Amino acid sequence: MKPVALEKSSRAAFFDLDNTLIDGSSIYYFVRGLVKSGILQRRQVASFALENYKFRKQKQESMTAMCHATKKILDFARGRSQQLIIELCEEIVQEFLPKKIFPNMQRRVEEHQSIGHDTWVVSAAPIEIASIVASKLNMTGAYGTSGEVIKGYYSGELRAGAMHGINKANAIKELAKVKAYDLSQSFAYSDSANDLPLLVSVGNPFIVNPNKQLQNIALKNKWPILVA
């Protein structure tokens, strides 16, 4: 099933990032990039590597692992310049995106764009990564997890919580009010049952590379299943 054109301002397509647009975890690639840059030591990437392996195999992120990863990133960012982190993310995304993006999903983004739909990344990944990925793919914009910034520096706090679960659904509902999107005519793509609030918020949910749990939900609801 392919997206169908409608009036430009009335439809949008929302894409999860990890294991949906790209193969694996963007936070792992971020941490690996910090090691390559000499900012972190190699031993510090071990736990991220293990969680990335589990994530790719199980196709389901662990809430415990996500909290651990978020805390590690916040601890790293505390006291650092936001501009520095953005510059690092630019280099890291430039490195991993061409290798890790699923070609079929990139084409899916381009299909939506070709018929005038706005396209958004909606991810638990740091907003700095999500925004750069969106920019590289000529997407409309991104929502991600945002660390608190005070006078240009990260405080190490996460005041608004992670962009995860119900927060994704709330974000696109608020966006729809601003952009006049008809969510009943819009699209969402995700690999994770954690994104069910996002998926049920739109009229056209698509399941990507699902695990057994999400596959059963998709089959029960007659949602299209895509293999990236």
Residues tagged active-site: 16, 18
Q: How many CA atoms lie within 13 A of 152 on its CB side?
A: 3
State the Cα–Cα distance between residues 213 and 193, nearest whole angstrom: 7
Is there a contact between 21 and 104 (Cβ–Cβ < 8 Å)?
A: no
- 8 by Cβ neighbours in 10 Å (0-12 / 13-18 / 19+) ranks as exposed
Is there a contact between 20 and 191 (Cβ–Cβ < 8 Å)?
A: yes
Closest alpha carbon to 67 in 39, 27, 21: 27
